[in-house]
Every structure is written in C-alpha cells, then in structure tokens.
Structure 1
Amino acid sequence: MSEAVKPTASAVKPSSARVLPALILAMLAYSVIQTAVVPILPSLALELKVSGSNITWLMTANLLSAAVLTPLLGRFGDLRGRKPMLLISLGGLVLGSGLAVATHSFSLLIVARVLQGAGGGVLPLAISIVRDELPREKVTGGVAAISASMGVGSGLGLVATGLLLEHWDYKSIFWMGLIAALVAIALVVVRVPKDPVTDKNGGADPLGAITLAGWLSALLIAVSRGNEWGWTSTKTLGLFAVAAVVALIWGVIEVKVKHPLVDMKMMARPAVAFTNISGLLIGFGMYGSFLVISNFTQTPEKLAHYGFTASVLHAGVLLLPSAAGSMIAAPVGALLIGRSGPRLPLVLGGLFGAVSMAYLALRHSSEGDVYFAAGLFGLGVGLAYAAMPAFINGAVPAEQSGIANGMNAVLRTVGGAIGTAVLGAILTGDTIKFPPQIAALVKVQLPTLDAYKHAYWITAVVCLVAAVVPFAIRTVRQSAPAAPVAQSADAPHPTKTSA
C-alpha cells in the first residue's frame, strides 16, 4: 500500500471558518436538487406528457449516475487531487441544471439528471478535503457537518420545491440548483486550497471502473423498475442475474490488478464493511421515509379517511423538522464521536429512526405526529451520517479516504433505491377499492391505511437492524501520535477502528 504524501510539520492549516462553508454549500447544492423533484413527479408527467412509469426515470437516472460517478470521482480525487475533482463534480451539477432550465424535452431532462448525478462526488471529496486540510481538533466536527448536510439538504429540497411552485413553474427548481452550484464553485475556487494528499504511486483501473458501472447499473435499474415490470418478470430477474455476475467479475478484477479502483482488502475491514451495511440500511430508511410520509400527507382525507390533503408545499413543511433534526445532529454527533468514538451516534441514529417510524405506524392522525416523527428521524439520520465517515476514516489511510467514503455514499444511494422500490411496491400492492362511481373520478390509486402502516413498520425494522450492526465493529483506544506530522493525517477522532 502506498504511503500518503503528508504535509510538512510547518504547513499552515486553513481555518475551518474558511474551508467549511464552501464544502457545506456544495453538499447542500447537490442534496437539495437530488430530492427536489420527488414530490412533483406526478405533475411533471402531465407537464411533459409522459406516463407515470416513465417519469420515474428522472429519479432513476440521477441515482444511477450518482452511484457510478461517486466512487470514480472519489478515487480520482485520491489520485489527482480532491479540489479539481470537486470542481468537476460541481461542474456536472451546473451543466445538468443549466440543461434542465433550457429544455422542454423529456429525453434531454433525463440527460440533465444524469449530469446532476456527478454531484454525488461532493460527499467523499469534501470529507477527504476536511481530513487533509483542517486542524485535527476541527476534523470531527467538519466531517460531521458535511455528512449531516446530506440529510439537511434532502429535507430542505422538499420544502423549497413547494415554495417555488407556489409562484413559478418546475424550471424554478433547476434554477435553484444552478445558482447554488455556481455559488459553491466560486467559494471552492477561492477558499479551498490545493490538497496536499494524493496517491502518487496509484494508477487508473479502467476495467474496474467499467465493471463497477455495469453491475451498479443493472442492480439499480432492476430495483427501480421492479414495481413496473414485476419482480418475477424476465427483465427484472435477468438484470439481477447480470448484476450478480458482473459484480463477481468486478471483485476478481479488483483483487488481481496492481492498482485497483477499490482495494477489496480495505472494503473487507470490519470497520468499513459493517459501516457500509449501516449506510445501506440508513439510506433505505431515509429515502423510503420521504416517499411514504410525503405521499401519506398529500392523500385526500375525504376520500381515504386518513392523510391531510396537503399541497406539495404543505407536505414539505411537514417534513421540514427532518432537516432541522439533521442540522442539530451535526454538532451533537461530533461531540459524541470526540468523547466515545463513532459507535454511539451510529447506534442512536438507527434507534431514533426505528422509534420515529414505529411511532408513525401507531400514531398518524394529527400533523403534530408527523412533525415529531420527522424531527426524530432527521436527528437519527444526521447522527448516523456523521458517524459513518469517522468509522471509515479511522480504518483507512488518507490516500484511500476518497474511494472509501465514495463507496459508502454509493451504498447509501443503493439503499435509497431499494427503499423507495420496496415501500412503493407495498403501497401500490394494497389499494383502496372505491365504488365504481367514485373510482371513475379518482385519477390515481390510493393505498390503504394498512399499507402505510406496513411501510412504517418495515422501515422501523430496517433502522433497528442498522442500530445493531455497529456492535460488530471492534473499537480500541488509539495511542497518542508520536509527532505532529503524523497527527495531521491521522484519524479524525480519538478512537481507531479495527481493520
């Protein structure tokens, strides 16, 4: 394994107040635009004159692009420098948003969403920059703030969509993403220094990149389209089979090549492997809960005898406490990590998610129930997302930080795709049977209340499993570093996870 090129002892670290705002805004710009289209997919289908099944490609294409590009950008950041790759990642967000603003074509809008998926690289690159650039005592808080910003931005995206649509059309959402990304680029250029840690002895792995893209594409398309095609259809099962075979080939390639895209030995370390499992489960819960809660609140109460007949804006406001909870979780998570390591906040994150979803399964008749559950769930997501990079950074060398955190981000995305597909299948599989005269007036099928309860309980169980997984990671107390030079690139918290 090649050693990272470390800064000299005399190198002056920039203050967190200079670097962090640029990185946090970059993370917010991506996460806001990723989820902003979720509550308006039905109206976009009417606007663009496409079917309800085809409109979901606006989310599928974005998730697929992010899943493929995130680890690639993270690895190239390790090899060629994090700041240039961060600018390329944000550049994809700018190009995608600009194209979405300029076009009225559904096909080009899908291309725009693919370009926006490049923004997924912001998370691993920003975490690596914080680890490289900030003073040691500031790293834990900085990483927690950036990672929790994913949950904050996702919640804010739902609210921003409602606010913008009150006054303008759907293109205003992409204008928002364009402006935010341009501001983020300007701040990154001015405030983020050239990073000192690059893997100069590493190399590219084109075959590994192609096979990684292949199995992720097959898996995410199968998961995202399974509801439409049928989970036992030839297309769905065929894509799952392709994903399994190509993933096996990818694993063999990564073990054999001299400079792998992903070091499989690194991925097999308990601290990395079990953290990635938690990431997949928490991603399932976060994306799935947004879908279920948003749909539940927008259900017409007079027809279904549940829900709040909420507008898109009202539904977003009901989910706003999730963003507030994730915002609060960043400093709390950093404090807990600094005192006892990342296990406690990761466990609490899963527990809070489980309790909030179980609460909604039992109590859902008032808006106060949704506010409470959304806030608690957001707090849990923020704590979990703050803890995951701390676990990973404590187990991998600095020159592998980008790809390690990139793969964790990929698994969060995969978990989100699985969560929305599974919970969507539950909701569409148990719908209200209206009398013929009413059914003729109802444009969409409405899930039964029991379907929503089942979705809440399943999400609660998944989050509970995520709370148990961290106990499989052994944590030991880290000894004090021998010299200031080594300290600057060490793990960002006082505990070290076992390899």
Structure 2
Amino acid sequence: MNPNHDAATPPEASDRGQILPALVLSMLAFSMVQTAVVPILPALATAVHVSGGTVAWLMTANLLAAAVLTPLLGRFGDLYGRKPMLLVSLGGLVLGSVLAVTTESFTWLVVARVLQGAGGGVLPLAISVVRNQLPPRKIPGGIGAVSAAMGIGSALGLVVTGLLMEQWSYKSVFWAGLLVSLVAIAWCVVGVPKDQGSDQAAKVDPLGALTLAGWLCALLLAVSKGNAWGWGSGRIVGLFIAAVVIAAVWVVIEMNVQHPLVSIRMLVSPVVAVTNVAGAVIGFGMYGCFMVISNFAQTPEKIAHYGFSANVLHAGVMLLPSAIGSMTAAPVGAKLVASRGPRIPLSLGGLLAAVAMAFLAVLNGHPVDLYLASAVFGFGVGLAYTAMPAAINSAVPIEQSGIANGMNAVFRTVGGAVGTAVLGSVLAGDTIEGLPLPTLGAYQEAFWITAVGCFVAAVAPLAIRTPVNSGKPVAQQSDPTEETVV
C-alpha cells in the first residue's frame, strides 16, 4: 500500500478523473463568492440602507468565519474523513448563497456571509483528498491546480461581478455564487470517494478549538476595523491585547493536551513556519494588489490626473490577466515542485510578484501597464500557491495534512486582512487637497509596500532546510529526519 495514502481503499483509475475537477471547481466556487461582493459594497449599502462603514461587515464577517472554520474543518477532515467535511464546507457555501438571494435584510446578509465562510475549509480538505486519493505522480499537479484555483477564482469573481452588474442588480452576483456552489457540491458527492478518518476520531480538543477561534477573531477584527475605529482607540488596542493573551492560552493548552487540535511542534517546525510566513506575505500582496489596482483603475482621470475612469467591469477585466497568470503557473509550478522541490517555485513566485508591483510603482500611466503587471503578479502568486502546500506536505504526515494546510490558509487570510488594512490606511492618509481621492504618490507608496512584502516571500524560503526529496510527502521519504538544503 502506498505509504502516502491512509486506510481508505483507493478509487479505481476510471473514477479518479472526477476527483480533481470537482475539487478545483469547489475551490473556484469559494474564492469567487468571497471576493465577488467587493466591487458591489457601495451598491449593497444603498440597497439595504446602511452606511459604507457598516456594509463592510459583509467582508469582515466572511473573513472571520473563514479564518476560524478553515483550520477546524481541515482538522475534522483528518479525524472524521475528508469527504464529509468537504460537503459540510460546501454546504455552508450553498446555504449562505440561498440566504443571500432570498433576503433584503442586512442582518441576514451578514449571517449569509458567515455561512459562506465555511467554504474556506475547501482548501485544506481538497489538498488532503488529492494527497490521499491520487497516485503519487499526480499529486504535485493536483495540489498545484487546487491551490492556483484560489487566485484564479478571486480574480474571476471581480470580473463576473462587473459583467453581472452591467445588466442586473446585486442579487445576480449571489445567484451566480449559488449556481457554481450547487454544481460543485453535486460534483463532489458523485466524484470524490469516501475515505476513513484517523484512529483519534474520538479525541476532540474543544478548548483548543475555542481559544483558536478566540484569538483569530480578536486579531482579524482589530486588523479589519483599525482604519474605521482608529488604530489607537480603546476597542482596537483591547482587541490586540485580547488576541495576544488568548493566543498564549491557546499555545499552553495545545502543548499540554494529549491530542491537540494543532500541534505546536508542527507549527513551529522550520519548513512549516517559514512557509506560513511566506503565505502571510503572499496573502498581503494578493488581496492588497486586487484592492489597489481596482481602486486605481476606477479613479476619474480628468479630476485626479491619473487612473483610467474605469467602471466596475473594466476594473475587473484589468485583473483578469492575474487569473490567467495563475492558471498558467499551476502546471509550471507542479513540474518545478516534482523536479526541484517547493523552495524554488515559492521563491520565484514571490520574486515575480514583487517585480510586478515595483513595475507599477514606476510605470502606471497606461492601461497596458496594469494588464502586464497583473499577468506577472498572477503568475507569481500561482507559483507560490502551488509550492506552499507541497512544502507543508513534505514536512507533515498525512494525518496532519488538513490542519497544517488549514493553518497555512489562515496565515494567508491574516496577511490579506493586514494588507488591505495597511494599504487602505496609506491611501486614506494622503489625499488630493479638497477631494476624497488618494494622490498618485499614495498609490506609488502602496505598490512599493506590496513589492517589499512579496520580496520577503521570495527571500524567506532560501533560509530553510527542507527534507530530502522535498517535492514528495514526508510519508514517502526514507528518512524524514534527514535534512538538506534544496
């Protein structure tokens, strides 16, 4: 029996062809639903009669739910089986979408976005399914396709929103999310085989889960609301303090229970820790890039003397090359991982993303500049997203695959929240006199900050020592404790 597979009976070869398309579509569904509401927040505020600051809770609620539920669903997949938890994750996406298309209430829209946050569990669960069900030679490509689908879906979500808003109301965006989610869950029911969980299925760590949720909520709420509430306000400072205290309690709990939700030893191991750092800064860059480029493109050129006066659709199209770049990068990254290990594509991805943002800081006067930078940035992010799960899987046994990749997804989410908050603060802090528009210098500073963040993702992996044959899962290596510089 392949040591990389658990006790589940591998599917027949004729059935395996359904697994990867179902998982990729599931990842696309979540990432599209997550980002699709960004361009329509002003329209939503008007439709449900709330302020611009209040409507931002539709993103905050989804962000919090995804950050908390992603590692939990990943770990429950390790314990109880990946397919059941995958269906739970997609079920949240479907239920949230149903609620969103049937309500006119802002409160229920927030609830809908919380339910949709359960879709974040798709990433670690899909990676675990690929690792568990596909033959070894197809694992790098499968992981690359699933991981790249997150970046592809995020960019496509913006484009689809623009297309739909040209013809219909904001409800059409939620209908589109519901349709894709229904197809994804149906395909997973048919195409993803059942698997067995760990023999530790009865050992749950409720205190670990509660404290993990506590410090993540406090941290992300502080980061997401810092600009609105004031970084020095009592609420924000109190949330940061609460996050630190609860995180410390969480570490103590996880180090002292027999079956922790998250192994702290695994989390601080060099390969996993550095990959999570890279994930955080890549998340910082990706979400920050989408926000800054979209805002820059929509700036009225005649008033600000920069920007392109783009509508929502045009701004989304300018980010479409990012999706194409990520799609192209997935097979390239998979080949690099298989032949050279994950460190090279991870570093190269960060470097390309940094170059793209540095390019925009210098050249941004023509739409072609944005198209070109978007394509290069997407290719870099696609390489990095392909390499990160491979790096983590090379360092953890399969029974920890779900939680390890779930925590990496959390770090990406935290990085994305920090990125949008920091870059939003930069843009808000330097505006054209008499106008609520950032100066060109503010945008250039935002591009440089993003470039520096992505460069950190390029440099960090160079310092780690990874297991021999680092493109392979740790269970396939003859001596996982032996290390070398790849």
TM above 0.5, one fold?
Answer: yes
Give the RMSD, CA atoms, in angstroms. Answer: 2.2
CA distance in structure 1 between the partners assigned to 2:135 and 2:395 by the alignment: 19
Secondary structure at the counterpart of residue 238 of structure 1: helix
What is the TM-score when the length of structure 1 is the normalising length? 0.93
- In structure 1, how many angstroms separate the alpha carbons of the residues matched to 2:153 and 2:482? 30
Q: Distance in 2 between matches of 1:498 and 1:12?
A: 36
Question: What one-letter code is carried by the residue in structure 1 that aligns with 2:313?
Answer: L
- After the TM superposition, which residues 376-391 of structure 1 pair with which residues of structure 2 at under 5 Å, given as runs? 376-391=376-391
Aligned to 2:305: 305
Structure 1 residue ranges (4+ consecutive) displaced by more than 2 angstroms after TM superposition: 3-17, 196-202, 475-481, 487-491, 494-499
Shift of 1:7: 3.7
**Helix, strand or coil for the counterpart of 1:60?**
helix
Question: Match for residue 490 of structure 1?
Answer: 476
- Over 3 Å counting, the alpha-carbon distance change for 1:184 and 1:361 in structure 2 is same
- Aligned partner letter, 1:269: S
The 3-state SS of whatever aligns with 2:254 is helix
Contact 1:220–1:417 (8 Å) recurs in 2: yes
TM value normalised by structure 2: 0.95
Query: What is the aligned partner in structure 2 of residue 253 from structure 1?
Result: 253
Matched, 1:279 2:279: yes
- Gap regions ≥5 residues in structure 1: 440-444, 482-486
Mapping 1:142-291, distance limit 5 Å: 142-196=142-196, 198-200=198-200, 203-291=203-291
Query: Aligned in 2, Cα 1:340/1:48: closer, same or farther, shift over 3 Å?
Result: same
Confirm or deny: 8 A CA contact 1:322 1:376 kept in the other structure: yes
1:212 and 1:186 map into 2 onto residues whose CA distance is: 31
Give the match for residue 484 of structure 1.
Answer: none
Residue aligning to 2:422:
422
Q: Are the structure 2 counterparts of residues 306 and 106 from structure 1 closer, same or farther at C-alpha, using a change threshold of 3 Å?
A: same
Change (3 A) 1:497 1:353: farther
Q: Is the 8 A contact 1:161 1:173 kept in 2?
A: yes
Q: Residues 341 and 471 of structure 2 are in contact (CA less than 8 Å); yes or no, is this contact kept in structure 1?
A: no
What is the 5 A alignment of 1:29-428? 29-196=29-196, 198-200=198-200, 203-428=203-428
Distance 2:335 2:5 in 1: 29
Give the share of equivalent positions with the same residue, in percent: 64
Q: Tell me: CA distance 1:430–1:130, structure 2 relative to 1, closer, same or farther (3 Å).
A: same
State how far apart, in whole Å, the 2-side matches of 1:120 and 1:6 are: 24
The answer as to 2:21 corresponding to 1:21 is yes
**What per-residue deviation string (whole Å, max 9, x for no partner) do you get for residues 232-283 of structure 1?**
1111111000000000000000001111100111111111110000000000
Aligned-partner SS, 2:18: helix
Tell me the amino acid that sits aligned with residue 450 of structure 2.
T
Shift in CA distance, 479/272, structure 1 to aligned 2, threshold 3 Å: closer
* Displacement after TM superposition at 1:394 (Å): 0.6
Q: CA deviation at 1:10?
A: 8.4
Q: Which runs of 5+ in 2 are unaligned?
A: none
Q: Does 1:467 align with 2:458?
A: yes
Number of residue-to-residue matches in the alignment: 481
- Give the aligned partner of residue 478 of structure 1: 469
Counterpart of 1:442? none
Deviations along 1:294-328, whole A, 9 cap, x unmatched? Answer: 00000000110000000000000011000000000
1:282–1:415 contact (8 Å) kept in structure 2 = yes
CA shift, 1:18, in A, is 1.8
CA distance in 2, matches of 1:22, 1:480: 24
Structure-2 change in CA distance of 1:496 and 1:278 (3 Å) = farther
In structure 1, how many angstroms separate the alpha carbons of the residues matched to 2:467 and 2:295? 44
Query: How far apart, in 1, do the equivalents of 2:39 and 2:450 lie?
Result: 20
CA distance in 2, matches of 1:349, 1:46: 40
Give, in whole Å, the separation in 2 of the partners of 1:11 and 1:230: 54
Determine if contact 2:356/2:373 at 8 Å carries over to the other structure: yes
CA contact (8 A) 1:398 1:490 kept: no
Aligned pair in 2 of structure 1 residues 70, 169: CA closer, same or farther (>3 Å)?
Answer: same
Q: Which amino acid is 2:476 matched to? A: D
Asked if 1 retains the 8 angstrom alpha-carbon contact of 2:395 and 2:474, the reply is no
Closer, same or farther: CA 107–396 of 1 in aligned 2, 3 Å: same
Alignment partners' CA distance in 2, 1:185 and 1:36: 19
